[in-house]
Structure 1
Amino acid sequence: MQDPEITDFKHFIRLIGRGQRAGRTLTVQEAQQAMTMLINGQATPEQKGAFLMLLRVREETAAELAGFTLAFRAVNLPDFASLNVDLDMGCYAGKRRHLPWFLLATMVLAQSGKRILLHGTHEPNSKRLYLKEVFPQLGLSVANNVAEAKLSLDTLGFAYMDLKNINPALDDVIQLREQFGLRSCANTLARMLNPSQATCSLQGVFHRKVDEKHSQTACLLNEQNMLCFRGEGGEVEFNPERDVTLHIARQGQMESIDVSSTANNWEIKPKELVAQHLLDVWQGDTDNVYAKHAIVGTLALMLLLNSKLSWQVAYQQAEHMWQGRNKQWPVPLSANISTMPFNTQGKFYAH
């Protein structure tokens, strides 16, 4: 419950900024009220920056993330719950080392009758490849509103939307990175947003311990089925070259599952990422061992979460589904589609 007597945002800055001894963390309710005030313009630009960067330095607690998530969920644009989605995937890291092979895993799952909503954004100066850029190169449409997302879900089984068309307020906070030079908690909140209120949410992160915090936050929010893991480059993609721990939250109960790497050899990072290679692998024109491991592993995560299977059973089923997929590309391809390669060289930021 919000405290009607708190009308000045500096109250929350004072609470978290007094230092290690005098300062404290926010409760779920306090965090929700603070972020609601920030969203509603009840904080000056200076207060907004101070609040977000104090949290960035100290790191947010699960209770704070839960409160912030509730605040942003309250301002999602309307009608997303009508999409009847089975799996929500926040794709906010972008790719740098490999193509987004998780897209092909999504397509296989969609062929089985599941409905998947992907959402993301494009961070300024991140030098990463985002789904928003990949989709047009594969003849796929980016949905700009709920009606277009529904059409894509009905015809393909999956849809992608940019965060600015789902929750402009949250996207505005993400874009502040250009001014701060640092990330805020907004990227974490976007992953947790689940705007369609899907029964399952799959989340990928980069940094250690953040996956555990996602699980703790999901428990506080009483999420039905949430799985968070350290994905390739921080994205929702299984990295077959590394062991990983899966953190699962189901209606207040947490579970962790350790999964071993599935690839025997390390893949050398290519100098360029070409979206056409996704199409080639899907149609079986190219045999890419790394891609197969990444796709099957990601699909296994989806099945483990959605169907509550063991890892071993989920992986076997994923292999069978990948081998038995319909290899015809689901949309017509125009000869005029641009396939600009993405340069993987140079400095980039971890997401």
Structure 2
Amino acid sequence: MSNIFRELLKKVGSGSHTSESLTRAEAAAAMKMMLLGEATPAQIGAFLIAHRIKRPTGEELAGMLDAYEELGPKLQPINTNKKPVIVLGIPYDGRTRTAPINIITALLLASAGQPVIMHGGDRYPTKYGLPLIEIWQGLGVDWTTLSLGQTQQVFEQTGIGFVYTPQHFPLTQALWQYRDQLGKRPPLATMELIWCPYAGDAHIIAGFVHPPTETMFQVALGLRGTTKYTFVKGLEGSCDLPRDRTAIIGLSSSKTQELARLHLVPREYGFTTKNVPLGTTEELIKDMHSVMAGEPSELMQTALWNGGFYLWHSGICPDIQAGVDQARELFSSGVVAAKLQELIW
């Protein structure tokens, strides 16, 4: 197998003038050989850095996703009243500068009848930022203790699921040491943003930083037959809408292959142009509880801005302002806090 992998490595690692992109099948084979340890450590490290330098294509990302599809876990379909389940693609290496709001958004959406799946692991390179799993633990929800079957039960009962990759997809763990040693995100980090660990009808919402990533996303998902997706130029590459600038959002369209484009200006909806900085985890958890108690704060403004958009985008509210109003009501009435309590076991 290492001889087969060497040929794939030669294609992507031959330099700027002679390197070639992999086909979808080749990318899938390379991803499988790395996950299964059939490539040598030297080959894996060389491939990851060479592929980063070359830059991935949408076809290669599709192949990598094919390997994840074959080897990885999936939560099974649930009754959603014909709503696609939202799968949030958020960088695995966490946050270091701005306070994340996506877990509050997930609780809000589930409270309004929109199921949500998140996925991720522990503190990972290259940022080693605050990951989703630690925020959930701070809120009293420890996904790390659940088998995939138990997570499925929680998902069915509450409308929220979390695929914890160290437990549910342990094959990925061997690759994290390479990220640390290389000091750079490999293309795997881009692919993870559009991974869908759900076997039913899904709407993938992925954050991004660099505009060319949108094109890669769109090509990869198109090749895999995914038609429902949203790309958000969010805070630190997440799905969180910023308040300090116009939110740039790309939406899939059933009528054209081009992305529909939204430019949302926070101040037009009454929000100040200020992101909430990330302090200690303890401070963040306290502020999140304050939001779920309906108390005014800067983080509440971020929660309302994101909640308004996502409630509208999910088809729950007729427009963003109605979404903001409903988000405020769901927080102040204690409905979101009650959803969190459903998840505490």
Q: TM-score, normalised by structure 2?
A: 0.83
Alignment-derived partner of residue 134 in structure 2: 133
2:293 corresponds in structure 1 to 283
CA 1:56–1:111: 2 relative to 1, 3 Å:
same
Structure 1 position 200 matched with structure 2 position 191: no
Residue 169 of structure 1 pairs with residue 171 of structure 2: yes
In structure 2, the CA distance between the partners of 1:155 and 1:279, relative to structure 1 (3 Å rule), is farther
Cα distance change on mapping 1:83 and 1:142 into 2, 3 Å: farther
How much does 1:233 deviate? Answer: 1.4
**1:97 matches 2:97:** yes
> What secondary structure sits across from 1:9 in the alignment?
helix
Change in Cα spacing, 1:204 to 1:32, as seen in structure 2 (3 Å) is same
Residue 29 of structure 1 deviates from its aligned partner by 2.0
Aligned to 2:20: 24
Change (3 A) 1:127 1:12: closer
Residue 170 of structure 1 contacts residue 186 of structure 1 at CA under 8 Å; is this kept in 2? Answer: no
Residues of 2 paired with 1:55 and 1:34: CA distance? 11
2:216 aligned partner, one-letter code? K
Q: Which amino acid aligns with 1:261?
A: V
Residue 345 of structure 1 corresponds to: none
Using a 3 Å threshold, how does the CA distance of structure 1 residues 28 and 308 change in structure 2: closer, same or farther? farther
Deviation at 1:321, TM superposition (A): 2.1
User: Could you give the per-residue CA deviations for residues 232-269 of structure 1, whole angstroms, max 9, x where no partner exists?
Assistant: 11122111221132223357834131313304333463
> How far off is 1:224 after superposition?
2.8
For residues 17 and 185 of structure 1, the distance between their equivalents in structure 2, rounded to whole angstroms, comes to 14
**Structure-to-structure mapping, 1:175-254, within 5 angstroms:** 175-197=177-199, 198-249=201-252, 253-254=257-258
Stretches of 4+ aligned residues off by more than 6 angstroms: none
Q: Provide structure 1 residue ranges, at least 5 long, that are not aligned to the other structure.
A: 334-351
**C-alpha separation in 1, matches of 2:7 and 2:93:** 33
- What is the TM-score with the length of structure 1 in the denominator? 0.82
Aligned to 1:265: 273
The AA in structure 2 aligned to 1:294 is T
Q: Is the 8 A contact 1:245 1:258 kept in 2?
A: yes
- Does structure 1 conserve the Cα–Cα contact (< 8 Å) formed by 2:207 and 2:231? yes
Aligned counterpart, 2:63: 67
Q: 1:170/1:317 Cα in 2 relative to 1: closer, same or farther (>3 Å)?
A: farther
Report the number of matched residues: 323
User: Is the Cα contact below 8 Å between 1:241 and 1:266 reproduced in 2?
Assistant: yes
Counterparts of 2:321 and 2:279, CA distance in 1: 33
1:223–1:250 contact (8 Å) kept in structure 2: no
Structure 1 residues 42 and 154 mapped into 2: Cα distance closer, same or farther (>3 Å)? Answer: closer
* Alpha-carbon shift at residue 8 of structure 1 (Å): 1.7
- Distance 1:28-1:305 versus aligned 2 partners, 3 A rule: farther
- Whether the 8 Å CA contact 1:240–1:293 is kept in 2: the answer is no
How far is 1:299 from its partner? 3.1
The CA deviation at 1:106 is 1.3
Question: Per-residue displacement from partner, 1:40-74 (whole Å, max 9, x unpaired)?
Answer: 33311111111111011121111111111111211
CA–CA separation in structure 1 for the residues paired with 2:259 and 2:316: 12
Q: Which runs of 5+ in 2 are unaligned?
A: none
* Residues 141/32 of structure 1: CA separation in 2 closer, same or farther (3 Å cut): same
1:338 aligned partner? none
**Match for residue 33 of structure 1?**
29
Of 76, 81, 86, which residue of structure 2 is paired with 1:81? 76
C-alpha separation in 2, matches of 1:61 and 1:253: 18
Match of 1:341 in 2: none
Which has the larger displacement, 66-75 or 81-90? Answer: 81-90
Write the distance in 2 (CA, Å) between the matches of 1:186 and 1:294: 30
- Aligned runs of 1:271-310 on 2, under 5 Å? 271-273=279-281, 274=283, 275-285=285-295, 287-289=296-298, 291-303=299-311, 305-307=313-315
Per the alignment, in what secondary structure is the counterpart of residue 161 of structure 1?
Answer: strand
* Pair 1:308–1:61, CA change in 2 (3 A): farther
Q: 1:250 to 1:38 in 2, by over 3 A?
A: farther
Output the CA distance in 2 between the equivalents of 1:267 and 1:302: 18
What's the offset of the Cα at 1:83?
5.1
Q: Deviations over 1:19-38 (max 9, x none)?
A: 22222111212212222233
